[in-house]
Amino acid sequence: KQPVIIDTDPGIDDAFAIVPALFNEKLDVQLISTVPGNVNVDLTTENALSLLQFLDVDIPVAKGAENPLIVELEDASYYHGETGLGGYEFPPLTRKEIDKNGIQAMAETILSNEHDTTILALGPLTNIALLLHTFPEVKDHIEQIIIMGGSLTHGNTTSIAEFNIYSDPHAAEMVFESGLNMTMIGLNVTYDAIIYTSQIEKIQKMGEMGEMLTSILSYYRSGTFESGLRMHDSCTLAYLEDPSIFRTEKMKVKVLTDDYGRGATVINLDESSSESNMNVAVGINVERFQEWMVDSLQQAADR
Ligand code: BDR
Ligand code: CA
């Protein structure tokens, strides 16, 4: 089984990556590390714990950084609700995060694995930057980092910047320059990773889990069931499971950190592809993505 760490800020679309990952037979999700992003890190941690408790899955959750490296957090509670998972009322939490900092927990998990670990990055890159900086020895043991973030076209937080990269541009820059095997799945493809009423109705029929997921979706301000809802973060898992759903190209991508360009991901066309630092998603097969989303949740429901 492929060892996986999910670094996340749940987050409604984060839940739609976490849940199917947990029940994927080929993956061994060993740790969920939480990062401030959609809401603060106390809430993203509670949300991760609530999801696991609801699903009765027992894997460690470790709370990561309190704040972005340099800039102040500007959360996305407008899109995800004040708590980060809409207004859904989970049963009272009886679980707690582990008594270890998320960055250290990530390092220990990676170093204790016989096989190289894959990281799904579903939020700002604060924890991953701190991990690579503080424990550089992990670099030789990371299979790949699949990042939901950035864009080759428009932004969603400013006209040029996507939320995860905008939220901690300095961390993103460190990760993008790390030389690791990375794939960037940005808004230029996740804008099309949409599920509509026809998929949502199928999800709703998936028992208690389906009811919970549909209920949190109803709070997601990225659209309506009819206009469709964007499953940004799910794309990282879809890519891990079946890269052929996406078309990728190797590119040299830089992150801008100055005030004017904050969080923009820029392609340097002057540099040859031999200097590329990223595998960048440039296309998505929307129909196959939608099928994958429903099938992978069905697998989770049937476990
Ligand atoms: C990203 O921002 C967050 O609001 C989502 O969870 C996703 O990770 C999309 O820009
Ligand atoms: Ca997210």
Residues contacting ligand 1 via CB (< 6 Å): 11, 13-14, 38, 76, 79, 122-123, 148, 156, 162-164, 232-233
Distance in angstroms (rounded) separating the CA atoms of residues 288 and 229: 16
Q: Tell me the whole-structure pTM to 2 decimals.
A: 0.97
d(CA 114, ligand 1 centre) in Å? 32
Q: pLDDT tens-digit profile of 53-84?
A: 999 999 999 999 999 999 999 999 989 999 99
Which residue among 232, 234, 265 has the greatest number of ligand 1 atoms within 8 angstroms of its CB, and so is best to mutate?
232
The phi-psi region of residue 86 (left if phi > 0; otherwise alpha if psi is between -120 and 50; otherwise beta) is: left
Q: How far is CA 135 from the centre of its chain?
A: 22
ipTM, two decimals, is 0.99
Of the chain, the percentage scoring pLDDT greater than 90 comes to: 94
Q: What is the pLDDT of residue 4?
A: 98
Q: Are 3 and 30 in contact (CB under 8 A)?
A: yes
Identify any residues that bridge with 87 across adjacent strands, giving them in sequence order. 85
Give the model's confidence band at 269: pLDDT under 50 very low, under 70 low, under 90 confident, else very high: confident
Task: Judge whether 232 counts as a catalytic residue.
Answer: yes
Which of the two residues, 275 and 256, has the higher pLDDT score? 256
Mean pLDDT of the region 187-215: 97
In this structure, which ligand is nearest to the CA of 79?
1
Q: What is the pLDDT of residue 272?
A: 63
Q: What is the pLDDT of residue 273?
A: 61
Q: What is the pLDDT of residue 161?
A: 98
Give the model's confidence band at 87: pLDDT under 50 very low, under 70 low, under 90 confident, else very high: confident
* Residue in 80, 133, 141, 232 annotated catalytic: 232
